[in-house]
Copies of this chain bind each other. A is one copy, B any other.
């Protein structure tokens, strides 16, 4: 399997406000033809570091792709330094100069002198035309290594890569296909999950298994390599089947469907409707549900009952109940869900109440104490949680727990 490294060049990419995006689509396109991206480097307009980076990359990997630094200004050093790193000379191409002059003329300008340097290319390299800019790209092979030099702006580099580089790479990439399978899990900690499935995935070298921890759920990512995409998929499916069999309902989606999309699909399939009653999440549950296009087919309304008075007036939570158990309690969570469902006349309603912090915690109910409730035709249920994290994370995890409670209830009914 061929390996690639990507080098993004430009001091602006080392500021807090600019980020390299070329490497994302490059990685996607390379993976699709079975070339693995092993490393990404972002380097400024620093000749020594850039030369060392490109040289190291060529030593480690089969393919090295650089983006940026091909412009006409002083600090565009890529042309000169990449040539040096691979041990080749730059040659001046009159035909490229003529083409540059014409290009400027076409826009009604005379070519500035400093654009001359864009007519220099690495000796023996294939010149990659750039219909969207003045900087041509270059592709050169030496000692079995392939160096591909692309301009920085994606609107220039992407068509250049897909039209003039990718087809050639595809031929040489040895018919290898790499396919990913994402198994999304809820209600299990990372360590607990790994204890359950490590014995299963450790028996496989292909696919490669990675357990990834996102803010709210754990993702089991399988990466299979085979001659064809179909074979790779089949390899993923075999292990995925065993993992899903072990984890059961804790698996909420395959191939990256988000929790709110899963819940929406299940509601649509049942032709059921939903309302929400939110306290500590303040609208987040409704926001996530309605982020899904077409959610108005099943989501009717929500009640952001942040104050106790709102809980009572909007959805009829008895003031005495709040008085007796506190707003953050199993009883109030269930009363909120019940009241929301009855007021809205929906098939399902979910509720959230909790202490998101940083203030408001007590010894009995510390920050992170959360209850999520659900009401459906079978009645009310609720779950109490003690969630770690800051305010943002506690709120997010609460919304995820509420949606997951809804998901499990729909699946079980």
> Restricting to A264-286, which residues have a CB under 8 Å from any CB of B?
276, 278, 280-286
A89 on the B face (CB < 8 A): no
Given the interface pairs A16-B28, A49-B39, A52-B56, the reply to whether A287 lies near B290 with Cβ below 8 Å is: no
The stretch that binds B, out of A142-150, A163-171, A190-198, A236-244, is A190-198
- Point out the residues of chain B lying under 8 angstroms from A314, CB to CB: 301, 303, 314
A257 on the B face (CB < 8 A): no
* A contacts with B, residue count (CB < 8 A): 106
Q: Which of A49, A191, A307, A392 lies at the interface centre, i.e. has the most chain B CB atoms within 10 A of its CB?
A: A191
Instruction: Please tell me if the beta carbons of B49 and A31 are within 8 angstroms of each other in the complex.
Output: no
- Point out the residues of chain B lying under 8 angstroms from A38, CB to CB: 14, 43-44, 46, 49
Instruction: Please tell me if the beta carbons of A221 and B17 are within 8 angstroms of each other in the complex.
Output: yes
A296 on the B face (CB < 8 A): yes
**Contact among B41, B107, B300, B388 with A39 in the assembled complex (CB-CB below 8 Å):** B41
User: What's the Cα separation between A280 and B41 when bound, in Å?
Assistant: 39
> Restricting to A203-232, which residues have a CB under 8 Å from any CB of B?
210-213, 215, 221
Interface 1/0s, chain A 98-131, versus B by CB < 8 A?
0000000001110011110000000000000000
A73 on the B face (CB < 8 A): yes
The stretch that binds B, out of A19-27, A78-86, A318-326, A372-380, is A19-27
User: What's the Cα separation between A248 and B132 when bound, in Å?
Assistant: 29
- Point out the residues of chain B lying under 8 angstroms from A45, CB to CB: 210
Instruction: Please tell me if the beta carbons of B294 and A283 are within 8 angstroms of each other in the complex.
Output: no
Q: How far is the CB of A176 from chain B (nearest CB, A)?
A: 16
Interface of A is mostly: mixed
Instruction: Please tell me if the beta carbons of A190 and B73 are within 8 angstroms of each other in the complex.
Output: yes
A95 on the B face (CB < 8 A): no
Residue of B nearest to A358 (CB): B293
- Point out the residues of chain B lying under 8 angstroms from A296, CB to CB: 306-307
Given the interface pairs A304-B301, A304-B302, the reply to whether A192 lies near B112 with Cβ below 8 Å is: yes
Instruction: Please tell me if the beta carbons of A53 and B39 are within 8 angstroms of each other in the complex.
Output: yes
Instruction: Please tell me if the beta carbons of B276 and A302 are within 8 angstroms of each other in the complex.
Output: no
Given the interface pairs A19-B24, A44-B38, the reply to whether A108 lies near B386 with Cβ below 8 Å is: yes
Instruction: Please tell me if the beta carbons of A221 and B303 are within 8 angstroms of each other in the complex.
Output: no
**Contact among B23, B44, B210, B343 with A12 in the assembled complex (CB-CB below 8 Å):** B210
**Contact among B71, B115, B291, B388 with A132 in the assembled complex (CB-CB below 8 Å):** B388
Instruction: Please tell me if the beta carbons of A392 and B28 are within 8 angstroms of each other in the complex.
Output: no
Interface 1/0s, chain A 59-89, versus B by CB < 8 A?
0100000000001111100000000000000
- Point out the residues of chain B lying under 8 angstroms from A177, CB to CB: none
User: What's the Cα separation between A113 and B114 when bound, in Å?
Assistant: 63
Instruction: Please tell me if the beta carbons of B44 and A42 are within 8 angstroms of each other in the complex.
Output: no
User: What's the Cα separation between A289 and B38 when bound, in Å?
Assistant: 42
Instruction: Please tell me if the beta carbons of A42 and B40 are within 8 angstroms of each other in the complex.
Output: yes
Instruction: Please tell me if the beta carbons of B282 and A357 are within 8 angstroms of each other in the complex.
Output: no
